[in-house]
Amino acid sequence: MGNLSGKVALVTGGGRGIGRSTAIALAGAGADLAVCSRTQAELDEVAEQVKATGSDCFTGVVDVTDRAAVERFCAGLVDHYSRVDILVNNAGGGLERAVVAEADPDLWRRTVEVNLFGTFLFTRTLLEHISDGGKIINVSSGMGLKAGMQASAYNVAKAGVHIFTECLANELWPRRIDINNLVPGPVATSTFNRDDPSARTPTADILARFAEAPPAHFPEFERVKHPDEVGKLALWMALRPEGGPTGQTFSLARRPL
């Protein structure tokens, strides 16, 4: 595998799950990291793991839908590192889980804001500081390519992320910035397990719960994977040479989308 030493990577929603695995994978390849999430205790753990690889770690507590907080965090990041080479828009989640007829309009809107507006906001705020030849990786979902039920806000938001990635690819190639979607497929995260925030289930327990079969709304040939598998794909995407793919989707799903 190649090398990211001298590069600066930001992972949003990097406190746990796919974001944390991605941050540690990028740090393991030599990148210095910036990580934000809503939970200080999780950020402290990630920072410790990143620093254990010998990389620097800049952290901040941020709600990705809060414009002032995002701008403050990004200003601090630019102050600290002066630029970003790799932006991983990972923060996301499904908050509204009712059918449309029963959906809470505020939760529906917040789901779109977290997944889509947050991705836009970090990209918009940092774009002038992203190095020419840099990479943007938007963590999307198979649900952005295929409708389900009881998750319309998440479906719509992730579909929006897909087209946003394509719009950006069309706009950013003159700066040699490549932007692609990453579709993880089902992953053993606290979000996937629908944990109550007060009691997060360990990854191993989630993997054990779905070792025989994925949840019923997935076909039997899907596999619930470890977040580190997604971190590895994100690292591979970050390591593509300049002039590599842009505006594309890289998926670990096992069902046609």
Partner 1 sequence: MAEGSLARQVAVVTGAGRGVGRAMARLFAAEGADVAICARTATQLEPVAEELRAGGTKVVSQTVDITEWEQVQAFANEVAAQLGPVNVLINNAAAGADLDNIADSDAPAWAKTAITNVIGPYFVSRGFIPHLKDGARIVNFGSGNGHVPVARRSAYGVGRAGLSMLTKCMALELWERGIEVNEFIPGPTATVMLPWAMHLDDEDEIARQFADRPSPENPSERAKTPMEAAEHVLWMVTRPPGGPTGQLYSLMRRPV
Cα–chain center distance at 20: 9
* 166, 191, 200, 201: which one binds partner 1 (CB under 8 A): 166
CB 54 within 8 A of CB 5: no
User: Encoding tokens for residue 144?
Assistant: 């952005």
Question: Alpha-carbon distance 108 to 113, whole Å?
Answer: 9
Q: Does 81 qualify as catalytic in the annotation?
A: no
Question: Alpha-carbon distance 104 to 240, whole Å?
Answer: 41
| Only segment of 95-103, 116-124, 163-171, 192-200 that touches partner 1 (CB under 8 A) | 163-171
Question: Alpha-carbon distance 76 to 60, whole Å?
Answer: 9
Residue 146 near partner 1 by CB under 8 A: no
Residue 247 near partner 1 by CB under 8 A: yes
Task: Give least dist CB 87 to partner 1, A.
Answer: 18
Residue 212 near partner 1 by CB under 8 A: no
**Window 171-210: contact mask with partner 1 (x via CB under 8 A):** --x----x----x-x-------------------------
DSSP 92-108: ------S-GGG--HHHH
Tokens 């040699």 sit on residue:
176
**149 DSSP assignment:** S
| Only segment of 88-96, 116-124, 202-210, 242-250 that touches partner 1 (CB under 8 A) | 242-250
List interacting residues with partner 1 (CB under 8 A): 165-166, 169-170, 173, 178, 183, 185, 221, 223, 225, 236, 243-257
- Residues annotated catalytic, as ranges: 154
